[in-house]
């Protein structure tokens, strides 16, 4: 069982030593622990510091490409390294790396595909009151969209099984946190949470410039991910709202006519007509969105198969019966596959 701990970094030379020194070297049930640094366009000595602390695996971006892209590229590299479990932490030492053993335990026990650390936001001293409220509200919205019950959906301290990473495909480049939960929930992956206490704040966030920007971008990511999987729910809601509002002027017109009012009320009827047209368009867009959702599901099935071929979970030359047990474990040893092919050929 191989664990890859990936650490996205942007100019983290000061805090990275604390992160690397607290990553466990041994965990019961894990045979090998690798550290992967994702250098997202750092201009300081982040890479040199990592090498000084024994890190040999890197993903490097020539310029800053965002946390979402860093997570995506890190996961691809971790799978290439043969990861059975991938843990994501941050280079600013926000999270307690000492708890990685607890974070991966539900996956080792087969109880979860994804484990999200609960930062217990109400106990975080450097979070302001409004920020704590926004975190709770945001988590509730994500849980509603994903069908989950996570207390801290925005936490970036997470563990993913190899099988879950074959199914998750991040699109958002701002942050992967909300999107992966919504995807995992809608794909019926088992998601759980463990409580942790964060480390003292070391610097301001580089992910966003203000709380307003964070809320705006997070909301966009949530809506986009939700539309991918449940477009009919959203557009049915809009169709119903516009339909009720559009019928109201016509009902009012009928009532006024019944009571002897001789007015034309053309303005109200025009507004009602426009709203009914918007209701009809919402229905059409909902149907198109649902067709695109079906098409996306078919594409993701193909992408899952491609990932398994690429990362050694399937053998394209193996025409024999599929060994389900080996697929569940995650990857088949290349030497074993060659021996099997030779025995069949002989």
Q: Which of 196, 226, 256 is the last residue of a domain?
A: 226
Residue 340 lies in a domain: no
Please indicate, yes or no, whether residues 95 and 30 belong to a single structural domain of this protein: yes
Identify the sign of the CA torsion 299, 301, 304, 305: negative
Assess whether 57 and 173 both reside in one domain: yes
* Share of residues in the chain with pLDDT > 70 (%): 86
* Same domain for 207 and 283: no
Instruction: Please enumerate in sequence order all residues whose Cβ is within 8 A of that of 262, keeping only pairs 6 or more positions apart, or say none.
Output: none
User: Which of the pair, 278 or 339, is modelled with greater confidence?
Assistant: 278
For residue 320, pLDDT beyond 60: no
Are 151 and 10 found together in one domain?
yes
274: which 2 tokens? 């426009």
Q: Are residues 163 and 220 in the same domain?
A: yes
pTM for the structure as a whole: 0.76
Q: What is the CATH number of the domain that holds 203?
A: 3.90.550.10
> Same structural domain for residues 214 and 235?
no
Residue 12 confidence (pLDDT) above 50 = yes
Residue 205, pLDDT > 70, answer no
Q: What is the pLDDT of residues 110-150, one digit of tens each?
A: 999 999 999 988 888 777 787 788 888 888 888 888 889 99
Residue 339 counted as domain residue: no
Are 40 and 8 contacting, i.e. CB atoms less than 8 angstroms apart? Answer: yes
33 and 166 assigned to the same domain: yes
Domain that holds residue 313: 231-329
Lowest mean pLDDT among 34-38, 50-54, 62-66, 298-302: 298-302
In a domain, 54, yes or no: yes
- Mean pLDDT confidence for 278-304: 89
Q: Please tell me whether residues 240 and 202 are part of one structural domain.
A: no
Taking the chain, what is the end-to-end CA distance rounded to the nearest angstrom?
32
Q: How many domains does one find in the chain?
A: 2
Q: What are the tens digits of pLDDT across the range 237-250? A: 999 999 999 999 88
Residue range 219-235, pLDDT digits in tens: 777 777 778 778 888 89
Q: Quote the distance between the C-alpha of residue 346 and its chain's center.
A: 46
User: Does residue 59 sit in the same domain as residue 130?
Assistant: yes
User: Do 207 and 291 reside in the same domain of the chain?
Assistant: no
pLDDT, mean of residues 265-286: 90
Task: State the burial class of residue 264 (Cβ atoms within 10 Å of its Cβ: 0-12, 13-18, 19+).
Answer: exposed
| Residues 158 and 116: beta-carbon distance below 8 Å | yes
- Asked whether residue 200 falls in the same domain as residue 79, the answer is yes
């Amino acid at each position: 069982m191989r664990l890859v701990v990936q650490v996205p970094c942007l100019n983290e030379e000061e805090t990275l030593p604390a992160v690397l020194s607290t990553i466990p070297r041994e965990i019961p049930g894990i045979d090998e622990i690798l550290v992967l640094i994702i250098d997202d366009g750092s201009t300081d000595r982040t890479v040199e510091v990592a090498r000084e602390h024994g890190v040999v695996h890197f993903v490097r971006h020539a310029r800053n490409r965002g946390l979402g892209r860093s997570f995506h590229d890190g996961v691809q590299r971790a799978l290439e390294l043969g990861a059975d479990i991938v843990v994501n932490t941050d280079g600013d030492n926000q999270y307690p790396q000492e708890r990685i053993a607890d974070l991966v335990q539900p996956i080792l026990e087969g109880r979860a595909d994804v484990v999200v650390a609960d930062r217990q936001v109400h106990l975080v001293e450097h979070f302001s009151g409004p920020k704590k409220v926004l975190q709770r509200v945001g988590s509730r919205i994500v849980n509603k969209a994903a069908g989950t019950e996570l207390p801290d959906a925005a936490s970036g301290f997470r563990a993913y099984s190899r099988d879950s990473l074959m199914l998750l495909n991040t699109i958002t480049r701002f942050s992967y946190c909300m999107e992966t939960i919504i995807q995992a929930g809608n794909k019926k992956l088992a998601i759980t949470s463990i409580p942790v206490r964060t480390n003292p704040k070391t610097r301001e966030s580089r992910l966003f410039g203000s709380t307003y920007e964070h809320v705006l971008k997070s909301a966009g990511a949530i809506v986009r991910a939700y539309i991918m999987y449940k477009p009919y729910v959203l557009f049915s809601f809009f169709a119903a709202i516009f339909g009720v509002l559009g019928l109201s002027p016509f009902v009012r017109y009928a009532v006024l006519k019944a009571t002897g009012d001789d007015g034309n009320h053309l303005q109200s009827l025009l507004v009602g007509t426009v709203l009914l047209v918007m209701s009809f368009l919402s229905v059409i867009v909902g149907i198109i969105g649902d067709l695109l959702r079906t098409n996306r599901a078919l594409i993701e099935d193909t992408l899952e198969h491609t990932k398994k071929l690429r990362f050694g979970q399937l053998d394209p030359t193996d025409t024999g019966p599929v060994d389900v047990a080996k697929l569940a474990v995650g990857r088949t040893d290349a030497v074993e596959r060659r021996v099997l092919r030779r025995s069949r050929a002989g």
